[in-house]
Structure 1
Amino acid sequence: MTDRTRRPSGADGGGGTRIGGGGGGGMRIGWGAGVWGAAVAAVLALLPPAVSSRLPDRLATHWSGSAPDGSMPLWAAALAPVAVWVLLLLGLFLAARRGGAPGRPWTAATLAVSGVFLAGAQVSIVRANLDRADWRDAASTGTGVLVTAVAALGAGALGWLAGRHGEPPAAVREAGAGPLLEIPEGERFVWLSRTTNRWLRLTGAVAALIAAVVVLVAAAGLTTAPPWALIAPFAVVALAASGCSSVQARVTETGLEVAFGPLGRPVRRWRAADIVSARAETRTPAQVGGWGYRIGGQGTTVMLRSGECLVVRPRTGPDFAVSVDDAERGAALLNTLSARRSA
């Protein structure tokens, strides 16, 4: 999905010119939440049945200190956390529909913390009951719960950062209507455009899910040694595909900034004085050698969708192109800035 930049606005009360970019962040967040929700539900529901031959008929699910004091049938132990997870997702969905949902960063953090904690708790429960004849003989889950809590907090921090990155700056959200390309001296402005390739994002999510499931299986003691030969390739694919699945181009008084991935890292920057010229150009994956981050005879191209690209020619190094909408306006602003710096 692509965020289309809006028409430039006039000066605001603080004397700044705002050239705004796109809505649609809610759809990106919703799509990502759907993938995450399905992945967590699958882990919660499928892990106990996957090792049922090594588990007792009833699983210890509650502990008093280090001794288990409560149990559930295997089917209930698999479905109970799924029910909790689904209720949480429904609560966030209904809150969003009624306009009472928390901010996007907190929603993403809530989903990350809850999902990781529930999945980690399920792994700890399965591991404690593994190879036990009776649920009363289950091992303690103290260490597993502690590790899960730490991992959940870390996931929550990453979710919060991802949610913050998904929100356009306040100046962009307040952008109005009215054509304006030449910026008077002393005025402040920002141009922003973002593109997301759903297939690359889905590839990264699936690869990450496979790697996570393998890690969980190893953590539950179902293998004699960690299967790094399987984990490493899927982890690399997940990082590479996710890092190239979205891109955001931003033009300010200082120059051009291109951020990659859902967390906006890494970032490439060009000062306005270091840009010779900028232009809008139509490119296709066939011309640049495929999808993602491509290096070829036309320079470097970040190709997430066929069509309009913003192309900059720096004073040193090859051309750099990124497939974003409203590239002509971004190029015009960069050329204006470059001319000012060179004057």
Structure 2
Amino acid sequence: MTDGDDMKNGSGPAAHSGWRGGHAPRWGTAACVAAVAALLAGLPWAAHGRLPGRLATHWSGGAAPDGSMPLWAAAVFPAGIWLLIALVVSLSRRRARAGARPWRGLVLAPTGTVLVGAQASVVRANLDRTDWHEARQPVWAIVLILALTGAALAVAWRIAVHVASATPAIAPPELDLPEGERLAWFSHAANPWLQLLSAAACLVATGTLVALGVGLASPEALWPVFAVCGVIALASGVFSSVRAKVSEAGLEVAFGPLGWPARRWSPAAIESARAEQRRPSEVGGWGYRLSGHGTTVMLRAGDCLVVRPRGRRSDFAVSVDDAERGAALLNALRRRDRAGIG
């Protein structure tokens, strides 16, 4: 992934800075694909003691099923379909230009949701049945699967649009502020370990929710696990990546794959801006940290863009590449803003 400076008019100088964590999204996608496959194959085996020898797997609109599979096939078949789709998407992704790669989520997210939802629904329908002909598939289960698939598609679309819009054109770096010309600086950083923690917690929470829906365990035993893993997944996911933007509007720091929440300061609201080297040990660890240095969004050691908001005694810092250029542009915008007011 790359990011750099961009101009509103599409002409003139621009700057580019690279993010060296490009392998993290690849490994994260592979881990998610493997986890979904494990969930698809593992659900029937986890409840095999409460399932008949053959599982009802197909309904043609009536209450009674009209198709079945042995337990092993009901476990392997959807997992194989999922891995085949993921392989095709991966091969297509390698041939696609870099800017098109975020859109692979539009295929994988809803497909994985449909398959996991269908597998959970099949297991639930066959649970505690002595014969697969007795299995019943309620209408609300189909409606719920469709709703979850729509939600997954909406989230994947939002992420794809956000990533695509955050990848400006690349041009030779320069930092002049000609009169009447509008410049912007972008930079991005991510922590693959926090992303992995978020993905793992999300998968555990999803598995727990599926187990609750299927009825594999009592809600009293699983709800605390779901709540804790859900909070961990949300918190680590939001603060595992950050995007900083300096423009005429000032500084914007957006968190997570959706760019929300975000913090913003206008040029007039910033007293000073600078670049500084910081380490996690100096600010108390990774993520969103409060320390004697002020507030630091620490995703990796090294360059940090540090600003002192006007009227505050503490700084706000975010660890992004090319911080010196961002600070220089922000200070130039502050000077231009003061000159305009004067």
Scaled by the length of structure 2, the TM-score of the pair is 0.92
Match in the other structure for 1:180 = 174
Q: Structure 2 CA distance, aligned partners of 1:169 and 1:58?
A: 50
* Superposed CA RMSD: 2.2
Alignment of 1:234-245 (within 5 A): 234-245=229-240
Are 2:285 and 1:290 aligned? yes
Whether the aligned pair in 2 keeps the contact of 1:273 and 1:341 (CA below 8 Å) is yes
Superposed displacement of residue 15, structure 1: 4.6
Q: 1:153-168 residue pairs with structure 2 within 5 A?
A: 153-168=150-165
User: In the TM superposition, what is the alpha-carbon distance from 1:168 to its structure 2 partner?
Assistant: 4.6
CA distance in 2, matches of 1:35, 1:86: 12
Q: Distance in 1 between matches of 2:50 and 2:31?
A: 30
Matched with 1:306 is: 301
Partner SS, residue 256 of structure 1:
strand
Q: 1:262 aligns with which of 257, 260, 275?
A: 257
Give yes or no for the alignment of 1:215 onto 2:225: no
Label 1:330 to 1:4 Cα distance change in 2 as closer, same or farther (>3 A): farther
1:195 — aligned with what? 189
Matches within 5 A, 1:34-53: 34-53=30-49
Residues 102/252 of structure 1: CA separation in 2 closer, same or farther (3 Å cut): closer
Correspondence list, 1:131-170, <5 A: 131-169=128-166
Aligned partner of residue 210 in structure 1, secondary structure:
helix
Query: Is 1:92 aligned to 2:89, yes or no?
Result: yes
Q: Would the aligned equivalents of 1:105 and 1:160 in 2 still touch at CA under 8 Å?
A: no
- Distance change (3 Å), C-alpha of 1:239 and 1:14: closer
1:114 maps onto 2:123 in alignment:
no
1:323 corresponds to which residue? 319
What residue ranges of structure 2 are gaps of 5+ in the alignment?
Answer: none
Q: How many angstroms does 1:164 deviate by? A: 1.9
Kindly state the Cα deviation for residue 225 of structure 1 after the two structures are TM-superposed. 2.5
Give yes or no for contact 1:95–1:101 (8 Å, CA) kept in 2: no
How far the C-alpha of 1:17 sits from its partner, in A, is 4.4
Alignment of 1:1-12 (within 5 A): none
* Cα distance in 2 between the residues matched to 1:162 and 1:139: 37
Structure 1 residue 165 displacement after superposition: 1.9
Tell me the CA shift for residue 27 of structure 1. Answer: 4.6
Q: What SS does the corresponding residue of 1:80 show, helix, strand or coil?
A: helix
Q: Which one-letter code corresponds to 1:143 in the other structure?
A: W
Distance verdict in 2 for CA 1:96–1:26, change over 3 Å: farther
- How much has 1:62 moved relative to structure 2? 0.5
1:128 alignment partner, one of 125, 128, 142:
125
Q: Secondary structure at the match of 1:190?
A: strand
Q: 2 CA distance for matches of 1:20 and 1:168?
A: 15
- Out of 219, 223, 228, the residue aligned to residue 225 of structure 1 is 219
Identity %: 51
- Taking the aligned partners of 2:83 and 2:234, their CA distance within structure 1 comes to 27
Q: Is the 8 A contact 1:16 1:188 kept in 2?
A: no
Kindly indicate whether the alpha-carbon contact (under 8 Å) linking 1:249 and 1:259 is maintained by their aligned counterparts in 2: yes
How far apart in 2 are the matches of 1:210 and 1:241?
14
Asked if structure 2 preserves the Cα contact closer than 8 Å seen for 1:310 and 1:331, the reply is yes
Superposed structure 1 runs of 4+ greater than 6 Å apart: 23-26
Shift of 1:104: 4.0
* Structure 2 CA distance for partners of 1:56 and 1:101, relative to 1, 3 Å: farther
* Aligned mates of 1:76, 1:336 — CA distance in 2: 65
Whether 2:61 is the aligned partner of 1:67: answer: no
Contact 2:21 / 2:192 at 8 angstroms: preserved in 1?
Answer: no
Q: Which residue of 1 aligns with 2:332?
A: 336
Distance 1:232 1:59, change over 3 A: same
Corresponding residue SS for 2:178: coil
The question of whether the paired residues in 2 share the 8 Å contact of 1:19 and 1:189 is answered with no
Q: Give structure 1 stretches of 5+ with no counterpart.
A: none
Cα drift, residue 63 of structure 1: 0.9
After superposition, give the CA deviation of every residue in 1:79-128 in whole Å (9 maximum; x if it has no partner).
Answer: 10011101111111121233389944542121110001100000000000
C-alpha change, 1:161 and 1:342, in structure 2 (3 Å) is: same
Contact in 1 for aligned 2:24/2:192 (Cα 8 Å): no
C-alpha distance in 1, partners of 2:178/2:43? 62
Q: Structure 2: how far apart are the matches of 1:109 and 1:208?
A: 18
Give the 3 Å change call, closer, same or farther, for CA 124–154 of structure 1 in structure 2.
same
CA gap of 1:124–1:169, structure 2 versus 1, over 3 A, is same
SS at match of 2:56: strand
